[in-house]
């Protein structure tokens, strides 16, 4: 099955060493939804965190992604918690990777197994909530039990 907006966690079989997208392409909505898989999302987010201070990268990427899903008629695919979580994690990890190839090689869990990575931090109930889709929620699955 080819990667789509729906199966965002599937790595692209035909991904080159660097996806062919740029920040300008992403902001203009010039992406092929059949090829804009999870790895392409990670790549563009990596470009943003290397280009802008973190708060600006978050804002610009988030706004551009929301604009893109509207353009594609896929507004229901936008998920604030997923967007922010991955961008924050990419920013943290990008600090030690000088090139995309180094970042990709060092972060296979982020690129190839996004669902597994998310499950370390978030419950399914949290991620499936309307609130998590609308705004960033902190992880709720850190193995910490609250006691009163």
Asked if the structure places residue 3 within a domain, the reply is no
Whether the predicted pLDDT of 140 surpasses 80: yes
Whether the predicted pLDDT of 139 surpasses 50: yes
Asked if the structure places residue 130 within a domain, the reply is yes
- Enter the pTM of the model: 0.82
Asked if the structure places residue 146 within a domain, the reply is no
> Which residue is listed with tokens 């990667």?
3
Asked if the structure places residue 140 within a domain, the reply is no
Residue 72: predicted pLDDT: 92
Q: pLDDT tens-digit profile of 52-88?
A: 999 999 999 999 999 999 999 999 999 999 999 999 9
* Domain count of the fold of the chain: 1
Asked if the structure places residue 45 within a domain, the reply is yes
Mean pLDDT of 121-136: 96
Question: The domain containing residue 54 runs over which residues?
Answer: 23-134
Asked if the structure places residue 47 within a domain, the reply is yes
8-state DSSP, 94: H
Asked if the structure places residue 41 within a domain, the reply is yes
Opening angle at CA 49, ends 136 and 55, nearest 5 = 50
Asked if the structure places residue 10 within a domain, the reply is no
Mean pLDDT of 85-109: 94
Q: pLDDT tens-digit profile of 11-44?
A: 333 344 566 889 999 999 999 988 889 899 999 9
Opening angle at CA 49, ends 100 and 124, nearest 5 = 90
């Amino acid at each position: 099955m080819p990667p789509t907006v729906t199966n965002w966690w599937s790595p692209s079989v035909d991904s080159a060493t660097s996806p062919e997208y740029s920040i300008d392409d992403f902001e203009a909505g010039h992406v092929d939804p059949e090829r804009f898989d999870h790895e392409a999302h990670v790549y563009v987010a990596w470009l943003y965190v290397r280009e802008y201070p973190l708060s600006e990268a978050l804002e610009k990427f988030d706004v551009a992604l929301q604009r893109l899903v509207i353009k594609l008629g896929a507004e229901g695919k936008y998920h604030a918690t997923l967007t922010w979580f991955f961008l924050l994690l990419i920013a943290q990890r990008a600090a030690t990777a000088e090139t995309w190839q180094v970042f990709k090689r060092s972060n296979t869990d982020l690129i190839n197994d996004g669902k597994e990575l998310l499950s370390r931090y978030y419950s399914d109930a949290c991620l499936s909530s309307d609130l998590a889709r609308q705004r960033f929620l902190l992880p709720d699955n850190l193995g910490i039990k609250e006691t009163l």
